[in-house]
Structure 1
Amino acid sequence: MLVISNNVQLADWEIELSAIRSMGSGGQNVNKVATAIHLRFDIRRSTLPDVYKQRLLALQDNRITKDGVVVIKAQSFRTQEQNREDALNRLKELILSAMVEVKKRKPTKPSRNSQIKRVERKKRTGTTKSLRGKVDY
């Protein structure tokens, strides 16, 4: 069971974990042992509240397929157990990140004083650059 928050939990049957062989270097161990974990989680079939489902499906994330299945591959560690924990933690972070509400930006205007200072700075820079030219006798 994966605990997302106080009142939201995922049962074991909702998360499909399968062990696969890792990619990359690692010597003979890579060819023999399936240490990487391939996690699949179907959002539409899950017992998540509807708000969670809608927000997850609305995310523009490469890990979510068009069918609404989250696919996570964990192969950072050398042991299967650590990769399993890593995959579950990444799923939890994905679900929690979907529930974070982004604050709306309040449009503001620059103050009159800051506008005047900006123009003065530009004028000063311009005069400094114009003094760098050839001297006319």
Structure 2
Amino acid sequence: MPATPNRFLPPESELDEQFILAGGPGGQHVNRTETAVQLRYDVLNSDFLAQAVKIRLLELAGRRADTDGVITIEAKSHRSQHRNREEARERLAELIEKAHHKPKKRIPTKPSRSAKKRWKKKKQRRKEIKRARKPPKIED
């Protein structure tokens, strides 16, 4: 069954895959076959994404991105090389999809007049409570 193409997945020519040994379940098979995959995607040198998306993508990638702008995704949860490869590509596509969503700009709001009054009243009450805790002043 062929995998459905993801519109957020970069072209094959921009992806670099390397298969490595993976630990975990699988017995002797896991010690002999390279089932884990390291998928690398050079974001900064890619023509697939807009500049703003590239910046958001590198921010979202966090530790998975190096200083050269290369994102490395490692998948090793499955025992088959094919399934690990699919998982790594899906995770990259999800990350790129998240980067395409531009966050809304926060518009700061001002407190209402009544909110300011309530705040002052509360502050005044606290002041009175603290003043009541103090010992009385001794006059000469």
Q: TM-score, normalised by structure 2?
A: 0.67
Question: Shift in Å at residue 38 of structure 1?
Answer: 0.4
1:34-87: CA deviations, max 9, x gaps?
A: 232100223466562xxx242343233443344443321123x14234422321
Structure 1: 5+ residue runs without aligned partners? none
Higher helix proportion (structure 1 or 2): 2
Q: State the secondary structure of the residue aligned to 1:128.
A: helix
Rounded Cα–Cα distance in structure 2 between residues aligned with 1:116 and 1:86: 56
Q: Which moved more, 1:127-136 or 1:117-126?
A: 127-136
The residue identity in structure 1 corresponding to 2:52 is: R
1:103-137: CA deviations, max 9, x gaps?
A: 1122221111101101111221232233344578x
Give the aligned length: 128
Q: State the secondary structure of the residue aligned to 1:3.
A: coil
Change (3 A) 1:104 1:44: closer
The residue identity in structure 1 corresponding to 2:20 is: I
The structure 2 residue matched to 1:55, chosen from 52, 65, 71, is: 52
Q: TM-score, normalised by structure 1?
A: 0.68
State percent identity of aligned pairs.
34
